[in-house]
Each structure stands twice: as structure tokens, then as C-alpha cells.
Chains A and B, each alone.
Chain A
Amino acid sequence: MRALRFGYVTGPVLGALWIFVIATTVAVTMSFVTGAPFRPSLAWSALWGVLAGAAALYGSVSAIAVAVVLGAIGIVGFGPIQSMDTGMIAAVIGHGAVGIFGLLGLRLILKECPAGALSRHEFEEAVIRFLTGFGYIFFTAIVLIPFYVMVMTSLKNQAELLQNPLDFTIDLSKGAGLFRSYVELFADFNFGTYLLNSFVISVATVVITLLFSIPGAYAVARLRFRGRASFSRSILLIYMVPMIVLALPIYIAFSMTGLRNSILGIVMIYPVTTIPVALYMLQGYFRGLPGEVEEAGLMDGLSRLAVIWKITLPLSLPALASVSLYVFMIAWNEFLLAFMLLDDPSKFTLTRGIASLNSSEIPRQHLMAGAVIATVPIMALFLGLERFMTKGLTAGSVKG
């Protein structure tokens, strides 16, 4: 370790690693965006990276010079990424990006690092900045790529996809024709009904869950009764029962009573899977509310139920929003029970409908369009109300 702690060692080593990271990132991005063949070269990346790392130690001017050299040498064909027969514009953008982001990143990573001996502090800071940069790129890539593929696939057609699976460019001249899969899903595959079913079921689940869990949570949080401690604990136990274990007897019972294949049956089951979570989240919140306000209400002659309705609930609107959002998400995304209990296409939820698209006869842009239809509403809700959502997720130590 000690041998590494010199600017002229740390700089080139981090430089080589960073340039390779950037080369891979740019190559993958360019391939996904243009469909043209870009590939990172380990040997050239290492070579140029060592040079770039060293140059970044000696101020902005030398860094800018190396960035220009990197871009130029890339176009000639000896840069950190190799581009074979791509268009000139794509090549300039690709190699330019390697030069700019490579050196910009290195300047940030090696900020305040002298060329000579480094203190342990300076050395570790540099390594941490490298890891941070890598982390941002890595996480953004792994999160975005599947969603990018999902959206882009839904806008293309089977033949184009088979020809070059990397070519996600969209032919904008098709105009509204781009959305053909979506139109077909709504026109021929009943997705309008599924969307409505999913929405109705999710809203009903939220309402029933709140109706059941608010009084229960209040009782656990505020009232004294024998068995309160063990009760609030056994709520957690219910989280731990796997759905598939319950699904089997529920399937049998519903088959025998004719509740299978009905939205009513689904609405009877979904809330019970969410009530324990909601109860646990709400009782935590209720506990944190000041008890004095409620006592004042009781003194003024309000009954307990009136106190809950007039004092506790208005005070806990943010918590109710979190819980509702979270429950809505669970119900909207639920797959297992819908898959097992629903066979009749007119009663399908979105998730069940998408599962029915998974066959070799249905082109996969339809499958992906279905996935987008299911994802967009929940994402919109989530992004709009992210603050409540993250709070809700952390508040209840919630199940997955």
C-alpha cells in the first residue's frame, strides 16, 4: 500500500482504471443509442489512461491537451474505444466523450494530489473519489438499461429487433405509427379493461386496508389492554408467512366456493396481505403524535371514535398518504394471486394480462408495451409523491 502512495503512482493507476471505465461506459452508451459497433480496448485504455493520469496531476492545461489527443487518436483508430465503420458524427461524439469525461473525471479524482509523496488522507480521498465516480456510472447504468430496453423494444417491431438487437434508434418518420403496439394492446387485447380492473382493485384495496388498519393501529398505539405487546409483535410475524403457502389453500377454497375468477375474490384477499403492514406503519406514527391533544378532546366530551376521526386522522394525513401509496403499489404490482386466481380474460388485472402476453405467438414489442403500461402509472405516482413514498417505505420496515 505504502508504495502506491505517490502521486506519480496513484495518478497513472487510477488513470488507467478510470479511462477503462469511461471507455466501457461510452462504448455501451453509443452502442445502445446508435446501434453502431463501438468496443472498449483494454490495452489502449490502460496505455492512454496511464498517460492521462500522469497529465491530470500537472494542472488543467496538460489535461486539456491530453483530452484533445485522446479524442484525435481515437478517430485515427488507436484510442481507448475502437469504432469500426460508424458514421463520422458518431465517431467524433464517442471519442470526444472519452477524452472529455476521461480527463474531467481524472482532474476531479486527483484534485489537490501532488505528484510526489501523498499523505494517507490524500491517497484515500482520491481512491474514494474514483469509487464514487464509478459508483454513479455503475448504478445509473444497471438501473436504466432494463427500463431503456423495455421502452425502446415496445416502439420497434420484431424484424428490426432480430436484425440488430443493439439498434434502439427510433424511426421518427413513423410518427404515431411508433405506438402501434400500444394501440393494438388497447384495441385487440383488452388492455383498457385490465387497466381499469387494476385501478379499481388497487383503490378498493387501499380503502379497505385503511378502514381496517386505522382503528387497529390506534388501539395498539394508544389503548391499554392485556396482550398489547405480544400483539404488536405478532403483526410482524404475519409478514413472514410466504404468499405461496397461503395461495394454495386460498386457491382450493376459492375453487370450491366459486370465488375464483372474480374481482370480488381478489378484493377480499389483497387487503389482508396489506393490513398488517399498514397497521404496523400507522401505529408507529400514532405513537409519535402528542397524546395531550387527544386527551383534551376526551375531556371536552368527545368519544374515542370521535377523537380518532376529528383529531388523530387530520394530524396523520402525511402518514396516511404514505401508507395509501405503499398499499396501492403492492396491490398494483401483485402478480402471484392474480395469476393463480384469475383465468377469465375479462377479469384480468394488468399483471395477469401481461403474463398472458408471454407466448411465442405474440411479438415481444407487445409484451414490452404491456410492461410499460403497467410501469408508467406507478412510476408517475412514485415520482410525483416520492417524499411520501420513501418515508412510507422506511417507516414500516416494509416487506418486499
Chain B
Amino acid sequence: MGVNGTTPLARREARLAWGLLAPTLISVALVVILPLLAIFWISFKPVGLADLRPPAPILREAVRGSGDKLRIEYRLRNSSQDRPIADVVLTDMLPPMVDLKGDPPKPCTLSGRTLTCDFGTIEGGYNERLRIPITASDEDAAEEAAEGSDPVVTGTASSVLTDATFTLENFKRIFEGAEFWTVLGVTVFYTVFGTLGALIVGLFAAMLLNKSFKGQGILRGLYLFPYVAPVIAVAFSWLILFDPFSGSANALLVQMGVTNQAINFFGDRPLALVMVTTFEIWRYFPLSFLFILARMQSIDTEMYEAADMDGASPFQKFWYLSLPQLLGILSVLFLLRFIWTFNKFDDIFLLTGGNAGTRTLTVNVYEQAFAVSNIGAGAAVAVVIFCCLLVFSFFFFRFISQEEGL
């Protein structure tokens, strides 16, 4: 039977397979592929946070003055400062007790009791009053009736997200100046040391637990706590533990005579980055520990017995027997953790908000898009991240195809 769908049976099997995969494929396409394409599109657009709503005409109606000066005032405004709105038309019903004084002013016409004003295209930042003199027997009732009937205003405007204006301004902005290189440097430091640290600490923890004794299960569960607990809970615990004014860590250090004055762990320049990296190591060593332990427990014990016969010392056994066996899982873990640490956002965002020299590329996406309200620049940073990831995945897949262990 051919694998490539040559026989009817195989073709039916393939059809069933795609049918079973369809829900996953569709949802992934909608939530992953589509947003990725959107990010590329947006990164070339001059979009701010305020542009997410398309520009719309905004109208307010009031009855002003009295007697001879009695008038309806419409105040028409363009919600956008720089984008025009086309075909703006205002329609309003005049209440029965109100009559126009003479003909309606310029863009307006009256047919029956329906007042229609065609403004055509209004420019960005448009903000004008239109006064329509009226007469009424009972002014208070007229005011209430006129303001009671809501005028309708329509207009069409293109959103900056969908029209054909493109710009390279976003990329120019993020690459400009030394800031980008600082951010990149911080990202590299955080990623490299966070990944290596978590691997080495995880390896140490795995060696500790790679023997059976009473309470081994409990310790293994305990050492997974940092990974299992919600990031927001542990991040805030760290913040409170290391608080410069009332944190226990500072009190402890002062009491032990290590330091005389409080240390601002998450606020001082090089220290904050070290602390954030330490947090990353603390939170993710359980993951590497778990994988390394699983691999260790599957190593053949006969080999060690043979080595014992040959009189190998414990360090020799670790160096010449265990480590080569673990090299595969260590490299796969390194690549995976490298990519995920590179992608990490929550941890730094919660600990420092990207201040004190801890702004990585991912935090910069948030910073540009929401703190500076420049969605386009945020998207441009996201595109830079995505390109880095393409390079990493290339290495990952070249390697994993040889490794195929995971």
C-alpha cells in the first residue's frame, strides 16, 4: 500500500487524518499564524494606541440663547487629529413645537421636519459649531424636546490599520541611538546566563536526588515548587523578600554584618539584572533538573559496576561516564531553554517593569506599544524578536534531527 495516498484506502485514511487535524490547524492558524502576519503588517504602519478606533465624527446638540437669539447649536468634531472623514451627514428631527427662523444655514436642508446637513469631508482636527436660529412658543419645553431627539451623524473613514500608508519610521525609531544595543545586550546577558545557570543548578539538583532514600519523593516534589507556583505569586514574594526598606533579605544581611546599609536589589543598575537572572535560574532549574534526572535514571548501571571494578573514582565516573551520556539531553535543554528564556516576558515585567537596566527585547515590545503608546514600534520590536527566533529554530532543528531524543 502506498503511503502517498495512491490507493483509495490510503486516500481515505489521509482524508480522515486531515479531518481530525482540522480543528487544531484552524485554531492555530487563527491565533498564531494570523497574528504573526498582522505583526509584520503593523510594523510598517504608523499606528498609535489611539488609532485602534477608526476616526469618527462626534456630535453634540444644545439649545442656546432665548427670545430672538434662540438657536440650536450642533458642535461637530473629528475624533482624530490628523485623519479626514468622508461623507459626513447629520440628520435630526425637529420637534413639533419648534420652527426654523427662515431658511436653514449653509450645508443644511429641511424637508418636512427632517433637518439634513451634508458636511462632505471633514479634515482631521475639525471642530466647528453650526448655529440654526429657531423660534418656539415655550422655550423650556422646546429645549427639552430638541435635546431629547438625538441627532444622527454618519461618516466613513479609513482606519490607518487597513489603508495603504506604510512607513519605515518604526524600524528607524527602534534601531536609532544606543538604546537598542543596550536592550540587545541585556537580552543576551539574561538569556545566556539564565539558561546556563538553570542547567548547571538543575544538574546539581539532579545529582543530589539520583539515589533512592527515604524522603526522595518529597524533596523532588519540593524542588519543583518554584516552577509550579504562579509566576505572579513568586515574583511578588521575591519583591517583598528583597524590598530595600522592609525586606527580610536586607535585614538578614545587615544583621549578619555583610552590609551596613540597605541594598536596593531590584533598583540598582547592574544588580537588578543579576537579580532578574537569578530569579530566572531559581524558577526554571526544576525543569532542567526533572529532565536530567529522568535521563540519569535511565543510564545503565552495569557501566558503573564495570568502572568500579576498574577502580575509577567518583569524579572520574561522573566525568567520563555520566557526563557523556547526559550531553544529549543537556544540549537539547540548552537550546529549548535558550529560546524560552529569550521569549520570557512576565518575570522581568513583574519584577522590575524593565527599569534599572533590565529591559529585554520582549519587555521592549510592551514598553513601546503601551507605555509609549506606539503600537507600530512595538510591532517592529516583535518582528526583530521573531527574526532572531527563526535563526534559533534553524539551529534547533538541525540539531534535534541528529538528537531525536526528546
Instruction: Name the A residues within 8 Å of B231 (CB-CB).
Output: 333, 335
B residues 369-406 with Cβ under 8 Å of A?
A: 369, 375, 378-379, 382, 385-386, 389, 392-393, 396-397, 400, 406
Q: A207-224 toward B: CB 8 Å interface, digit per residue (1/0)?
A: 000011101101110011
- Given the interface contacts A139-B205, A379-B228, does A248 sit within 8 Å of B313 by beta carbon? no
Tell yes or no: A186 within 8 A of B by CB. no
B residues 199-253 with Cβ under 8 Å of A?
A: 204-205, 207-208, 217, 219-234, 236-238, 240-241, 243, 245-248, 250-252
Q: A169 to chain B: closest CB distance in Å?
A: 13
Please determine whether B230 and A252 come into contact, CB atoms closer than 8 angstroms: no
Q: Which of B23, B42, B284, B365 contacts A212, CB < 8 Å?
A: B23
Tell yes or no: A132 within 8 A of B by CB. yes
Please determine whether B52 and A121 come into contact, CB atoms closer than 8 angstroms: no
Instruction: Name the B residues within 8 Å of A120 (CB-CB).
Output: 313
Q: A360-387 toward B: CB 8 Å interface, digit per residue (1/0)?
A: 0000100110111011001100110010
Tell yes or no: B137 within 8 A of A by CB. no
Please determine whether B52 and A246 come into contact, CB atoms closer than 8 angstroms: no
**Quick one: closest A residue to B26, CB to CB?**
A212
Tell yes or no: A31 within 8 A of B by CB. yes
Instruction: Name the B residues within 8 Å of A140 (CB-CB).
Output: 219, 222
- Given the interface contacts A225-B14, A240-B343, does A164 sit within 8 Å of B224 by beta carbon? no
Tell yes or no: B301 within 8 A of A by CB. no
Count how many pairs of residues, one from A and one from B, have CB atoms less than 8 Å apart in the complex.
283
Please determine whether B248 and A166 come into contact, CB atoms closer than 8 angstroms: yes
Interface of B is mostly: helix
Q: B365 to chain A: closest CB distance in Å?
A: 5
- Given the interface contacts A143-B223, A243-B345, A394-B291, does A272 sit within 8 Å of B232 by beta carbon? no
Instruction: Name the A residues within 8 Å of B161 (CB-CB).
Output: 252
Interface centre among B204, B255, B406 (most CB of A within 10 A): B255
Cα of A279 to Cα of B280 in the assembled complex, Å: 27
A interface, how many residues as a size bin? 35 or more
Tell yes or no: B16 within 8 A of A by CB. yes
Instruction: List 9 A-B pairs, minimum CB-CB distance, nearest first.
Output: A242-B343, A371-B233, A215-B20, A249-B35, A225-B14, A249-B38, A223-B17, A272-B31, A219-B20
**A residues with CB within 8 A of B:** 27-28, 31-32, 37-40, 120-121, 124-125, 128, 132, 135-136, 139-140, 142-147, 149-150, 153, 161-162, 164-166, 168, 211-213, 215-216, 218-220, 223-226, 228, 231, 233, 236-246, 248-250, 252-253, 255-256, 268-269, 271-273, 275-276, 279, 304, 329, 332-333, 335-336, 350-351, 354-355, 358, 364, 367-368, 370-372, 374-375, 378-379, 382-383, 386, 389-390, 393-394, 397-400
Contacts A335-B346, A383-B221 supplied; 12 other A-B pairs, CB < 8 Å? A31-B252, A132-B208, A165-B243, A165-B251, A212-B23, A225-B17, A231-B21, A237-B393, A241-B386, A248-B39, A249-B34, A400-B337
